[in-house]
Amino acid sequence: MSNDRFLKACRREPVDCTPVWFMRQAGRYLTEYRKLREKYDLLTIAKTPGLCAQVTLLPVRKFELDAAILFADIMLPLEAMGVNFELKENIGPVIHNPIRRCADVEALRVVEPEEAVPFVLEAIRLIRSELRVPLIGFSGAPFTLASYLIEGSPSRTFVQTKSLMYREPATWHQLMERLTQLVLEYLRAQVRAGVQAVQLFDSWVGCLSPQDYQEYVLPYSRRIFEGLADLKIPRIHFGTDTATLLELMRAASSEVIGVDWRIPLDRAWERIGKGYAIQGNLDPATLLGPWKLVQERTREILQQVEARPGHIFNLGHGFYPDTPVENVARLVEFVHEQTSSKEKARELL
């Protein structure tokens, strides 16, 4: 591997400049990806190792990114469980058999990843053989997966999810148990296949109060991170809208916590504590604006953390499809350039 800046930053070791990768860096903002999507749907790409590898590598070949992230959909491992879903364009996952009662949970089968998602593991091996930066594997977190399964389609209020949680706590905990087992095995299999770090996406967990997070979610996320500890790879814990959950998320024990733009990065780092690395936190919508704005907001983020070891530059959530590629290219360069000079300045002191 020619560049291990990202892995070093995860371990809070000094780096020559701040590493950068982006959520949804292989996505619709790339012409090459859109062209592929004219021929294949998302699930076909994700399930065909050659195509999956090609898409995963696209952004790393185009920009000086410091990590690649496996191209996949968080719903993939659920298919073998018996979940019947489709990915609707501009909407997201729609589940044809949403979870509404205990029997629905009992019907979910936990299948070994080697049997359920062999294509993902094969894609990882393919990608690794061609990649010169670290490869990040990922999974949806139990809460976020549960919210899709229960709501049946993307939600703003998550009221069905909360309702099940409050009205049938036993069903909720049983569902979380199964998803925890699934996610843990899925991530362990990804590491065995070759990923060098993992990110747990609890994208929608910010809809909960701290009390609910602690009672209904934290024990499961913690079990996943603890179940990965022996593998000695950096573990990233990410969610949006988590400004008031950060201390609790820290208790789930990962090396890195990813935060969104709602909280200034320095304030987030204070709350998490210096014993953790941090990832974030540019609002991806910023990239839809002029370069001047992207530059200004990026500079603010970098100034807040002052190139302290342990910062991984990223967005607060994934790229929007309309993101101009030009802004992405300049952003990668800008972060590297700004933080190299800082490092140099520090050495001179």
**Positions marked catalytic:** 24, 28, 37, 73, 148
The minimum distance between CB 242 and its own copies, in angstroms, equals 9
Amino acid letter, residue 72: A
The minimum distance between CB 148 and its own copies, in angstroms, equals 13
Using alpha carbons, select from 29, 89, 19 the residue that is nearest to residue 59.
29
The minimum distance between CB 212 and its own copies, in angstroms, equals 8
Using alpha carbons, select from 182, 157, 155, 168 the residue that is nearest to residue 83.
182
Provide the token pair at 235. 């573990």
Q: How far is 148 from 163, CA to CA, in rounded Å?
A: 14
The minimum distance between CB 168 and its own copies, in angstroms, equals 10
Half-sphere exposure of 239 (CA within 13 A, CB side): 28
Nearer to its own copies, 200 or 208 (CB): 208
Instruction: Kindly give the interhelix angle for 49-62 and 31-39, rounded to the nearest 10 degrees.
Output: 160
Nearer to its own copies, 119 or 320 (CB): 320
Cα-Cα-Cα-Cα dihedral sign, residues 175, 180, 183, 188: negative
CA 17 to chain centre: 22
The minimum distance between CB 284 and its own copies, in angstroms, equals 8
Nearer to its own copies, 156 or 232 (CB): 156
Nearer to its own copies, 130 or 300 (CB): 300
Binding interface with its own copies (CB under 8 A): 154, 156-159, 162-163, 165-167, 206, 208-212, 241, 243-244, 261-264, 267, 283, 285-286, 288-290, 293, 297, 300, 320, 322
The dihedral formed by the CA atoms of 150, 151, 157 and 162, expressed in degrees to the nearest 10: -20
**Cα dist. 228→73, 200, 277 in Å?**
21, 11, 17
Nearer to its own copies, 6 or 158 (CB): 158
Q: Is 255 helix (H, G, I), strand (E, B) or coil?
A: coil
